Structure 1
Amino acid sequence: MLVNVALVIGTFLFMEGVAWFTHKYVMHGFLWSWHRDHHNHHKGFFEMNDLFAVVFSLTAISLIITGVEIPELRFLAWIGAGVTLYGFFYFLFHDIIVHRRVKVKLDTSGRYMQRIMRAHYIHHKVHTKEGAEAFGFLYAPKKYDRSVKQSVADSKSSAV
C-alpha cells in the first residue's frame, strides 16, 4: 500500500520534470506547430496545443490498463495514476487558473499562485519558438517572486 502511494506521489513529482523538458524541447522544438496557437490569441475554446493533453492522457490510460490487466505489471497502474493526478493539477492551474479557459472565481492572491502565474505570463511574453523562459507548470523558481517594493510600485502605477 505504501509503495503504491509512493509510486503515485513520486510519479506526480517526476512529471513536473517531464513537463518542463517536453515544454522546452518538444513544444518549443519540433512540435511547435502544435504549441504555436497557445502563444497567440485565437478564437474558439480548443487549441492545437490541447493535443499534448490527449497524448499524456492516452499514456496514462495505457499505463493504468496495462497495470490492471497484467498482475506482474500492477505498478504501472499506480504510475498511470500519478500521471493522471499531475494532469488534473496541470488542467486546474494552467487552463483554469492561469489562462481562465473555464470561468471560475478562485483566490489567486497567495505567494505560490502569484509566482506560478507571473512565471507563466513571462513565458507568454514571447510569441515565437525561441527566446522563452519559465517552462515549468506547477513549479517556478523564487526569481519569479515579486518583491514588496515592486508590488507596491505596480499597484500605484495601475491606479493612475
Structure 2
Amino acid sequence: MIGYIFITLVTFCGMEGITWLTHRYVMHGFLWYLHEDHHKKGPGFFEKNDAFFIIFAIPSWLCIMLGSMNQAWWVVSIGAGIALYGLAYFLVHEVIIHQRFKWFTRSNNRYIKAIRWAHKMHHKHLDKHEGESFGMLLVAKKYWDKVRKDEKAAKRG
C-alpha cells in the first residue's frame, strides 16, 4: 500500500514537469488554436482551452480503468496521481488564479500571491511566442521576491 501511495505522489510531482513541457511546447506550439482564447479572453464562460481538461483526463481515466481491470494497482496509482494533479490544477488555476468560480477571491497567503503574480506575467504575452512561467504549482524565485518586495512596501506604507 505504501508503494502505491509513493507512486501516486511521484506521479503527482512529475505532472508539474509534464505540465510545463506541454504548456510551453504544445499549448504555445501546435495546439495554440485551442489555448489562444485563454490569453485573449472572449465572451462566455467556456474557452476552447478547456479541452485540455479532457486531454489530460483521458490518460488518468485509462490508467485507473485498465489498471483496475487487470489488477495492476501500480497503473491505478499513476492514474490517481494524474487525477490528483488535475484536481490541484482546477483549484489553483481555475478557482484561485483566474477566479472562474468565486469561492476564494482574496488571500494574503504569500504562495497564492506569488503564483498569481507568476501567472499574470505569463498572461501579459498575448501570442504564443516569448512567454514565461509555464508551470502551475512551482513558482520561480523572482516572483517570490516580487511579493516580498510588495509586502515590505505595504508595511512602510
Shift of 1:65: 0.3
* Farther-moved stretch of structure 1 (109-118 vs 22-31): 109-118
Give the counterpart letter for 1:87 in structure 2: G
Shift of 1:118: 0.5
Superimposed CA distance per residue, residues 101-127 of structure 1 (whole angstroms, 9 cap, x where no aligned partner) = 111135521111111110000000010
Instruction: Measure, in 1, the Cα distance between the counterparts of 2:37 and 2:17.
Output: 23
1:9-158 counterparts in 2 under 5 A? 9-71=9-71, 73-145=72-144, 146=146, 148-151=148-151, 153=153
Q: TM-score w.r.t. structure 2 length?
A: 0.92
Aligned counterpart, 1:3? 3
Cα pair 1:66 1:74 within 8 Å, conserved: no
Give the counterpart letter for 2:83 in structure 1: T
Q: TM-score w.r.t. structure 1 length?
A: 0.90
Instruction: Measure, in 1, the Cα distance between the counterparts of 2:21 and 2:111.
Output: 21
Unpaired segments of 5 or more residues in structure 2? none
Instruction: Measure, in 2, the Cα distance between the counterparts of 1:33 and 1:138.
Output: 24
Secondary structure of the 1:58 match is helix
Aligned residue pair count: 155
Distance 1:147 1:115, change over 3 A: closer
Instruction: Measure, in 2, the Cα distance between the counterparts of 1:86 and 1:148.
Output: 27
Instruction: Measure, in 1, the Cα distance between the counterparts of 2:2 and 2:133.
Output: 34
Shift of 1:59: 1.2
Following TM superposition, the consecutive aligned residue runs of length 4 or more in structure 1 with deviations greater than 3 angstroms are 147-153
Shift of 1:28: 0.3
Instruction: Measure, in 2, the Cα distance between the counterparts of 1:29 and 1:115.
Output: 26
Give the counterpart letter for 1:88 in structure 2: L
Instruction: Measure, in 1, the Cα distance between the counterparts of 2:5 and 2:105.
Output: 29
Superimposed CA distance per residue, residues 49-79 of structure 1 (whole angstroms, 9 cap, x where no aligned partner) = 01111011111000100110012x3211110
Cα pair 2:24 2:134 within 8 Å, conserved: yes
Give the counterpart letter for 2:104 in structure 1: K
Distance 1:69 1:144, change over 3 A: same
Identity %: 42
Secondary structure of the 1:57 match is helix
Give the counterpart letter for 1:139 in structure 2: L
